[in-house]
Structure 1
Amino acid sequence: MQDLLKGLIFLLQMKFGVIANGIILVDYLGNIFSGIKKIDFIVCHLTLVNLVSLLSRGIPYSMMRLGVPDVLTDVGCKAVIYTYRVTRALSITSTCSLSVFQLATIAPTVSPWAIFKSLVTKYILYSFVGFWIFHMCANSTIPLTVGAPVNNTIPQRAVHLGFCYAIFLDYIPEIVSTMFTTGIDYLNVTIMTLCSVTMLVLLKRHSQQVRYLQSTTQSVESDTCDGHAV
């Protein structure tokens, strides 16, 4: 009963996530006919990988919790886990790219920001091809370490994931693999944080400049009015 309840709750959460991402994706795809912008492409890519990530992990997990036996075959396990890991990594990278592009959008056109602005706006879309290749290669060992349980039995040195199992590598390769994947995630989060802080600084500086110009304009207008009055 508890597994059934967890499965229904997880299925409901996945449903809301799929609907929300689907609405965003359809809305931005509608802009294609009016000329899609770079930021529209980034958001479309982000919502698409989010959808694939949700479905690839959510559907098998929900079916397993609802009591469906033998949810996936061995090949299915390898494909689903590999797809989930790649799209999850691409989701984080796409979010980071969106932050970088937003920073480039509001960055001033003076040096050295002009160089950064030019490079980002010119190569941001090409970089997504590199992201796909990188993450597909980085997770290429996943199909070798996961599989479907046979008669609810799993190999030694493996952890049960519910509908699949994952085999632990030797100690050193496991540590290197974990440090590499988590390092990439932390790098993306660090870049996003730096971009957010920089955008706040730039917006605050711009706000101060606008206030200064407004106060200067009001002061000049006040002096002009006083001169006419005299």
Structure 2
Amino acid sequence: MTTRHLALGMTFLLQTTVGLLGNLFFFYHYLLLYLTRYKLRATDLILKHLTVANLLVIFSKGVPQKMAAFGLKYFLDALGCQLVFYVPRVGTDMVIDTTCLLTLFQVIMISPGDSRWAGLKIRASRYLGTSSILCWVLTVMRCVLIPFYMTDKRNNTNIIVKADHDYRASALQ
């Protein structure tokens, strides 16, 4: 293992650890609020979805990158490789979608009472759960074709490598 691989591995380890600790803190916080039956604010629902999406990205992208940076090569089979392409894409898209949903909700809530948005203030928090679930469904459906466009790199049959990662034994066609 070279110094470059060690430095890269330590960087991935640090990023994964900090991200994991921060998101697990939020997950624990919302779990504790749920168990104590504390009344949550409307934005807490969006932040819970954002925490889950971040954890998806960390576990599905951070852990394999860390293992590859420390020298373990081609340790995923075809299904694992497809999941490593699919799950981080869904997580990343959900982070973007949830952040946009949070921004839109905050714009509605801070708008003046005499604006066009005033009528939405009352109804906005009622539809947050539905909007969040709709974002998840649309993101999963939008990314569902990703695993179907993959082939095994070890077969050497009609492959155009877009990105070559040490932990994936497959590439996009």
After TM superposition, give the deviation of residue 61 of structure 1 in Å: 1.0
Scaled by the length of structure 2, what TM-score is found? Answer: 0.86
CA distance in 2 between counterparts of 1:133 and 1:90 reads 10
After TM superposition, give the deviation of residue 97 of structure 1 in Å: 1.1
**Matched residue, 1:3:** 5
Q: Classify the secondary structure of the residue corresponding to 1:150.
A: helix
**Matched residue, 1:157:** 160
**Matched residue, 2:18:** 16
Matched, 1:78 2:82: yes
- Identity across the alignment (%): 29
Q: CA RMSD in A?
A: 2.0
> Which digits, 9 at most, give the CA deviation of each residue in 1:121-159, with x for residues without a partner?
2212201111111111111111012355428x6852122
**Matched residue, 1:167:** 172
Scaled by the length of structure 1, what TM-score is found? Answer: 0.66
CA distance in 2 between counterparts of 1:110 and 1:52 reads 41
Q: Which shows bigger deviation, 99-108 or 52-61?
A: 99-108
> Which digits, 9 at most, give the CA deviation of each residue in 1:61-101, with x for residues without a partner?
11111111332110011112111100110011111111112
After TM superposition, give the deviation of residue 161 of structure 1 in Å: 2.9
Q: Is the 8 A contact 1:78 1:146 kept in 2?
A: yes
> Which digits, 9 at most, give the CA deviation of each residue in 1:173-224, with x for residues without a partner?
xxxxxxxxxxxxxxxxxxxxxxxxxxxxxxxxxxxxxxxxxxxxxxxxxxxx
Q: Is the 8 A contact 2:149 2:172 kept in 1?
A: yes
**Matched residue, 2:120:** 116
**Matched residue, 1:57:** 61
Indicate the structure (1 or 2) with the bigger Cα radius of gyration. Answer: 1
Q: Classify the secondary structure of the residue corresponding to 1:166.
A: strand
Structure 2 unaligned runs (5+)?
none
Q: Is the 8 A contact 1:77 1:148 kept in 2?
A: no
After TM superposition, give the deviation of residue 53 of structure 1 in Å: 0.6
Structure whose residues are more often helix by fraction? 1
After TM superposition, give the deviation of residue 167 of structure 1 in Å: 1.9
Runs of at least 4 residues of structure 1 off by over 4 A? none
> Which digits, 9 at most, give the CA deviation of each residue in 1:24-64, with x for residues without a partner?
22223322221223211111110111011111001111111
Higher relative contact order (CA 8 A, sep 6+): 2
After TM superposition, give the deviation of residue 21 of structure 1 in Å: 1.4
Paired amino acid for 2:20: V
Structure 1 unaligned runs (5+)?
169-230
